[in-house]
Structure 1
Amino acid sequence: MNTFLLPDLGEGLTEAEIVRWLVKVGDVVAVDTPVAEVETAKSIVELPSPYAGVIEELHGEPGTTVPVGKPLVTIGDPAGAAYRQEERAGSGNVLVGYGTTEQGGSGRRRKPRSGISGPGSKTVSENAFSDLPRVPLVISPLVRRLARDAGVDLKTLTGSGEGGLIVRRDVEQAIADRLGSTGQTPAGQVVPGAAAAPGTPAAQVEARRAAPVGAGSAAASGGAAAALAESRTELPELRRTPMSGFRKAVVATLSRSRAEIPEATTWVDVDATALVELRESLRTATDPGPGLLALMARFVVAGLLKYPELNGYVDTEREELVQYDGVNLGLAAQTDRGLLVPAVGNAHTLTTRGLDAEIRRLTASARDGRLTQHELTSGTFTLNNYGSFGVDGSAAIINHPQVAILGVGRIIDRPWVVDGELAIRKLTQLSLVFDHRVCDGGTAAAFLRFVADAFENPASAFADL
């Protein structure tokens, strides 16, 4: 019996969320068979099995967060000698933190469990633990954590889940039973609906909640949640969605950006008619040519080389402004997982066609959830084409620790004065949000004007690159 533990996925990541299982209980797998997709704060990773055999247990439902080093899949001994031989041989494929070895890995061995399959058998979970009566049936690490934090001994509980599985409601019920009328957990947390003992800190908190805030205000005897429900005319909640590891990372980055960066914004309307015409002129019957985003990226990179203050970061510990020697151009990409910002590495060394190829590759990888941690974190400046959403402008948030982000709005036909005459032109808006610590408004405006001029006169700009 082998237990596949969630491997160390690198970069200091301590947990991952199960996105979906690629196998089910009873499936026979070989070494390196993909068994699960998990989501970290960086990307989605497909995990191959380091063992061969029969899937006996999946430790968690999709959406469960599993700490590194905790059980992910339990794999029974192979059904035949062929699987055992393959397990001993190993595949040579190694994911960070685990791999296959001549001994078939270092997974924890367990006594073989009887009754996994066969006539009259119950669920797999029941039979898998039938010979271990002292071990509580707990799959979810979240349930284990809840019990540990509240001081609940799982061995004393009888599970209400399938096959006697201990689920969250069992732990919550045990907490409520133990509390009785005290209304406090060992950590001093108040359980909603439980009465606090007079004179305790919990009772004082409840008293403050019950005090009227002002004339006509409703008593908040039920705490903040009840007050919130009342303020929203008692509308029922539609749904609650736990934050994924990726979403938590996004929240942390954006919150830090707002808290630390004194940002300023400047913008300009741009006649992009010549840019659109240049893009069309590069298209042939056999070659679609570089896309508009690649052309824009080429001019942005040139602008950053000319104004490197916007291509760096603030070293707050040493009180220094750092500028990079080169550009890793981040490109905001909307995906099913949310907004990702993969970076084109060494963008300053690529031609426009090279930029186009790399942009297309990164965009495809972002949508498939296959971006690497380096691609997601190496950007030095971000270009955001929010015009693809059909909007003209945006007050963007700088992608910390970068110091600037340039947004491009949609390109649409608008009236514009050309040589004293009114004409219909292709107009767009550029907006630059920058960290005022690294430069003043003059530098930011000069960079923005450089990019705008390149959009309006791309042929002339290319001649100077």
Structure 2
Amino acid sequence: MSVRTFLLPDLGEGLTEAELVTWLVAVGDEILVDQPVAEVETAKSLVEVPSPYAGTVAVLHGEAGQTLDVGRPLISVAPAGGSGFGQAPDAASEAVGDTGAAADTGAAPVGQSDPAGEAYRQEEKAGSGNVLIGYGTPGGLAVARRTRRSRNVAAAPAGPVAMPAPAAAPAPLPVPAAPPAEAPRCISPLVRKLARDGGVRLGGLSGSGANGLILRSDVEAALATAMPAGSGTSPSIITKTDTAAVDPRTGLAIASQTPVKGLRKTVAANLAASRSNIPEATVWVDVDATALLELRADLKRRDPGNTPGLLAFLARFVVAGLAKFPELNARFDQEDSGAQITAYDGVNLGFAAQTDRGLVVPSVRRADTMSARQLDVEIRRLTASARNGKATPAELSSGTFTLNNYGVFGVDGSAAIINYPESAILGVGRIIDKPWVVDGALAVRKMTELTLVFDHRICDGGTAGGFLRYVADAIENPGSVLADL
């Protein structure tokens, strides 16, 4: 059987490229069907790529940090025990397993698979595409341990072999350095990426976690030791301290240059598309949030462990407002045949979440079917997934309307950019004490500012103002609104 090459699949939602974060296997490793072989970072998440083939790793097509296009070769796999290895292994990424790992785990012998796995490989070869990363194929063995084929001892011949004619003894080959006894104890993709960007060798760290697990704090401590105190230099930024390059326009020395890729590249393209394609308009209103805060405080006293956060209440009010003003829960499509407005049956409510990788917008699917408590649970789950780099492409790109709580950054208002191709975004500023007139008398109230940015092609100001006023009234009188939901 010849060497088979697995191409980098479409990781979801039409992504065209991915950055290779780290290899999970090395040349010479014997792998099973659905065993993760590489960890890649798309513009939306960190994902592990499983192999559809079983056998021996022959070639790794790419190096950590390299950007690969979808459809380009990722890994080549030879039949188990085969030869033809095309790339030297990286000792830092090797993990030496026990011979006979398949037998230890109860798995089928390497090179064999069940009918479901074989059907998947035939489907992939036929060009029907690959399964979504993270789901694997039926009967997959993604947790099987790897085994290392000996580099120094040739496989025993299967039958008699003719002896070659005597020849001069070749010069002795250099003996390679022995690989480490085991791989660094690090299971977090974000920690591995932080170490790689900062030039920290994981093999030289002693983990402070359970059983020597290397944590993010361990890598950050190593970075702090390596960099001068107070330098403030991010490991992801390339500093030009030795070359003294000069910017031709300003005449100033260039301090650093940071490649725009991954999430930042996608965000930049998305924001540019929004500004270029959407004729946006903005409306805003000051809102007295005192009653909402008092309602939540009362619920917290009654049931401390089951009280939704403020964002969940705001999300519930937004969903109710979109039911009354569905024009804002739509998309403007400009096709060759003409323009059309696509309306949705349901709301996937996106919300902005700040992460170490940048600002992302996970969405609560079918938020219109959820209560405030259910929305709170889903918002917390999606926020944790996004910050851990585990949110799926579908979760990060399926929104129909976005809620942006920039008040957490201590600002009152912002003319936000619409999350293209959506048609509107609602921003919420910080809640602070301000003087406000209540029943003809001046009082100190908990005030916030709502700002709605909308696509003026979708609707006029009357619709946008009606939606914004509905959400504002819900915040000011939450009891009456929630009673109708």
Q: Residue in 2 aligned with 1:177?
A: none
Tell me the matched-pair count.
353
For the 8 Å contact 1:31–1:91, the answer to whether it is kept is: no
What are the residue-to-residue correspondences of 1:236-385 with 2, within 5 Å?
A: 236-244=254-262, 246-283=263-300, 284=302, 287-317=305-335, 318-385=338-405
For the 8 Å contact 2:54–2:113, the answer to whether it is kept is: no
Divergent runs of 4+, >6 A = 79-82, 98-102
For the 8 Å contact 2:55–2:79, the answer to whether it is kept is: yes
Which amino acid in 1 is paired with 2:334?
T
Q: Residue in 2 aligned with 1:233?
A: 251
Cα gap change, 1:280 to 1:62, in 2 (>3 Å): farther
From 423, 426, 432, the equivalent of 2:446 is 426
Q: Residue in 2 aligned with 1:183?
A: none
Distance 2:152 2:415 in 1: 60
Which amino acid in 2 is paired with 1:32?
D
Structure 1, residues 116-175: CA drift from partner, whole Å, max 9, x if none?
447834589xxxxxxxxxxxxxxxxxxxxxxxxxxxxxxxxxxxxxxxxxxxxxxxxxxx
Percent identity, aligned pairs only, is 59
Distance 2:342 2:375 in 1: 25
Mean CA deviation greater in 436-445 or 19-28: 19-28
Shift, 1:73, TM fit: 3.5
What are the residue-to-residue correspondences of 1:118-129 with 2, within 5 Å?
A: 120-122=174-176
**Is 1:72 matched with 2:74?**
yes
Structure 1, residues 252-295: CA drift from partner, whole Å, max 9, x if none?
22211111111111111111111112122222456231111110
Cα gap change, 1:46 to 1:421, in 2 (>3 Å): same
Distance 2:256 2:277 in 1: 34
Cα gap change, 1:286 to 1:91, in 2 (>3 Å): farther
Shift, 1:78, TM fit: 4.7
Q: TM-score, normalised by structure 2?
A: 0.64
Structure 2: runs of 5+ lacking an equivalent: 82-98, 103-107, 142-148, 154-172, 179-243
For the 8 Å contact 1:328–1:347, the answer to whether it is kept is: yes
Q: TM-score, normalised by structure 1?
A: 0.67
**Is 1:97 matched with 2:114?**
no
For the 8 Å contact 1:36–1:46, the answer to whether it is kept is: yes
From 106, 109, 112, the equivalent of 1:88 is 112
Which amino acid in 2 is paired with 1:89?
S
How well do the aligned residues superpose, as a CA RMSD in angstroms? 3.3
What SS does the corresponding residue of 1:278 show, helix, strand or coil?
helix
For the 8 Å contact 2:30–2:110, the answer to whether it is kept is: no
For the 8 Å contact 1:51–1:100, the answer to whether it is kept is: no
What SS does the corresponding residue of 1:231 show, helix, strand or coil?
coil
Distance 1:238 1:12 in 2: 32
Q: Residue in 2 aligned with 1:448?
A: 468
Distance 1:50 1:121 in 2: 34
Cα gap change, 1:288 to 1:26, in 2 (>3 Å): farther
**Is 1:59 matched with 2:71?**
no
From 48, 51, 58, the equivalent of 1:49 is 51
What SS does the corresponding residue of 1:315 show, helix, strand or coil?
strand
Cα gap change, 1:117 to 1:367, in 2 (>3 Å): farther
For the 8 Å contact 2:331–2:342, the answer to whether it is kept is: yes
Distance 1:100 1:349 in 2: 31
Distance 2:66 2:427 in 1: 36
Q: Residue in 1 aligned with 2:230?
A: none
Structure 1: runs of 5+ lacking an equivalent: 105-113, 125-225
